[in-house]
Amino acid sequence: DLGTYPYYMAKEIDEQPAVLRKIIQAYQNEQGQFELDKTIISSIENSDRIYIVACGTSYNAGWVGKQLLETIAHIPTEVHLASEFGYNMPILTKKPFFIFLSQSGETADSRQVLVKINAMGFPSLTLTNVAGSTLSREADFTLLLHAGPEIAVASTKAYTAQITVLTALSETIARENGVAGDGNMAHELGIVATGMERILSEKTAIEQLATDFLSTSRNAFYIGRGIDYYVVMEAALKLKEVSYVQTEGFAAGELKHGTIALIEENTPVIAIITNKATAGHTRGNVQEVSARGAHTLVIAMEGLEQQNDQIVLPEVHPLLTPLVSVVPTQLLAYYTSLHRGNDVDKPRNLAKSVTVE
């Protein structure tokens, strides 16, 4: 039910703080700490490496998941595109554990990998929004995203839900393994939910930025470093699929190795800056493209912001910044699509769940 919303994408972007709170509730114990099914945790503890396999937005969430699993739980983690993995399988460790990320649980590219690794006898977990979906039935374990039905083809709340459940998983593994972890993540995620609400209350300003920066451009760049790089990959995918603006999500430091040649007068370049360690260098990249005529828009976290930054994000735990930095990029994609008169919820050439390889 759309309620008062014109499109599901707008509704689903707005639902994200509530989804986060629902996940926190679903996966925390009486002490307010994350606690997940023990059989999942012990299966992961018995493995020597995690392989995340996914497509599209779920794949982009996987990269944030790698950061969480490695930093919080200290488990080496690789991220693979399902459509490549099946034909070009990496050398696996002795005791791999597979995590399939899939909103729908029906993606054929991911399923063919699951069929292969099931035949090899390796353990697997599906994170999905759909109970009883194919990937859920065929994996050993399932964790539900609790995001509620996602109708718009462009995935928004499933991305933030995946990162949130992966945070709960990382923290539970850390505690069971006696690793220090990174604070009380259930508490930190509550702060994130409030932060998301603040960004969502600034929609009018973000709509104006979409008009100023993206309404007529044929191409655009998103740049960032470290965890912000993972988010710009997702931001670029979102803008491409709903607005049809050709967009690259780029590691900011890599621009000077070739791609900066594409910067012309008024090329939109959107930078995400949430990390103290990389902020200075990314600022340098913003200046470089600006000096070559780029129309630059900066999304920066509180504490790292500068005077002319257009979007300032509320400060959250350093590992959880993707959950807030992605929100303005979802809104920029939504409004650009809307202003261009596209069918926001059903972009051309795309289907909600991709059941062919």
Active site residues: 352
Among 67, 134, 155, 282, binds ligand M6R (CB under 6 A): 155
Q: Per rule CB under 6 A, is residue 62 in the interface with ligand M6R?
A: no
Q: Measured at CB, which residue is nearest to ligand M6R?
A: 56
- Least spacing, CB of residue 153 vs ligand M6R, in Å: 5
- Least spacing, CB of residue 107 vs ligand M6R, in Å: 3
Residues 6+ apart with CB under 8 A from 182: 71, 72, 171, 174, 317, 319
- Least spacing, CB of residue 345 vs ligand M6R, in Å: 11
Q: Are 295 and 269 in contact (CB under 8 A)?
A: yes
Q: Which stretch binds ligand M6R (CB under 6 A): 153-161, 175-183, 299-307, 312-320?
A: 153-161
DSSP 60-82: HHHHHHHHHHHHHH---EEEEEH
Q: Could you say which residues in the range 212-241 bind ligand M6R, by CB under 6 A?
A: 237, 241
- Residues forming beta bridges with residue 221, ordered by sequence position: 248, 269
Distance CA(142)–CA(228), nearest Å, equals: 28
Q: Which is nearer to ligand M6R, 26 or 354 (CB)?
A: 354
Q: Which is nearer to ligand M6R, 102 or 325 (CB)?
A: 102
Residues 6+ apart with CB under 8 A from 225: 251, 252, 253, 275, 278, 281, 282
Six token digits for residue 304: 């790292």
Q: Per rule CB under 6 A, is residue 337 in the interface with ligand M6R?
A: no
- Least spacing, CB of residue 230 vs ligand M6R, in Å: 14
What is the rounded radius of gyration, in angstroms, for the C-alpha atoms of the chain? 20
Among 47, 77, 110, 337, binds ligand M6R (CB under 6 A): 110
Q: Per rule CB under 6 A, is residue 126 in the interface with ligand M6R?
A: no
Instruction: Count Cβ atoms within 10 A of the Cβ of residue 206 and give its class: 0-12 exposed, 13-18 middle, 19 or more buried.
Output: buried
Q: Which is nearer to ligand M6R, 228 or 241 (CB)?
A: 241
Distance CA(325)–CA(313), nearest Å, equals: 7
| Strand duo 124-128 + 246-251: pairing | unpaired
String of contacts with ligand M6R for each residue 240-279, x by CB under 6 A: -x--------------------------------------
Q: Which stretch binds ligand M6R (CB under 6 A): 38-46, 104-112, 118-126, 138-146?
A: 104-112
Q: Per rule CB under 6 A, is residue 28 in the interface with ligand M6R?
A: no
- Alpha-carbon dihedral angle through residues 74, 79, 82, 84, given to the nearest 10 degrees: -140
User: Residues for the chain: how many in total?
Assistant: 357
Distance CA(67)–CA(79), nearest Å, equals: 10
Among 103, 136, 274, 336, binds ligand M6R (CB under 6 A): 103
Q: Are 336 and 154 in contact (CB under 8 A)?
A: no
Residue 86, amino acid: G
Distance CA(5)–CA(330), nearest Å, equals: 16
- Least spacing, CB of residue 54 vs ligand M6R, in Å: 6
Q: Which is nearer to ligand M6R, 182 or 230 (CB)?
A: 230
Among 28, 104, 134, 164, binds ligand M6R (CB under 6 A): 104
Q: Per rule CB under 6 A, is residue 16 in the interface with ligand M6R?
A: no
How many chain residues interact with ligand M6R (CB under 6 A)? Answer: 16
Q: Which is nearer to ligand M6R, 50 or 154 (CB)?
A: 154
Kindly list the residues in this chain that would bind ligand M6R in the complex (CB under 6 A).
55-58, 102-104, 107, 110, 153-155, 237, 241, 353-354
